[in-house]
Structure 1
């Protein structure tokens, strides 16, 4: 396999960019309080509370610890990208449980 010499010179540049991306990913905060979650998603804090009560699942999207609510940024991203139905997650879970019982 013949690799042009010009491409070999770019390997260090690619490695440097990968290192920068890795540092950025590792330095980002995963757990968000209500204010941070509202800023991150672009909703008001009141709307975040409504989402928490009607759409988000405790133990998946958020956790209650020491009197605080902490939102999992990764799960919020998944929720935003994969919400295909208007039915909220709690309704879906309740329907599944009813079907099992």
Structure 2
């Protein structure tokens, strides 16, 4: 494998950019309040509350802590990217629980 000498000089530049990206990824917040979740998903705060009431599951997508609602960014990403996003997951969960109880 022959790599031109000019490209070898760019290795330090590439490593520096990778370090910057890694720092940015590691510094991002995982837990979002309602305002941050609305900005992150591109919905209004009111729509986030509707999603929370109708589709999102407490203990999975969001948590209530000291009177605040905190959304798990990783779970929101998963919810948005899965095909279950179009289904009423809260209703499905309630039906499953009714069958168990």
Shared fold per TM-score greater than 0.5: yes
TM-score range for the pair, normalised by the shorter chain length: 0.7 to 0.9
User: How far off its partner does 1:43 sit?
Assistant: 1.4
- Structure 1, unaligned runs of 5 or more: none
Task: Give 2:17's aligned residue.
Answer: 17
Equivalent pairs, count: 101
Task: Give 1:64's aligned residue.
Answer: 64
Cα contact 2:32–2:70 (8 A) shared by 1: yes
User: How far off its partner does 1:75 sit?
Assistant: 1.4
- Structure 2, unaligned runs of 5 or more: none
Partners of 2:70 and 2:62 lie apart in 1 by 5
Q: What is the Cα-based RMSD across aligned positions, in Å?
A: 2.1
1:1-101 to structure 2, matched below 5 A, reads: 1-84=1-84, 86-97=86-97
CA deviations over 1:22-67 (Å, ceiling 9, x no partner): 1111222221111111122121211111100111111111111111
| SS in structure 2 of the partner of residue 47 of structure 1 | helix
Structure-2-length-normalised TM-score:
0.83
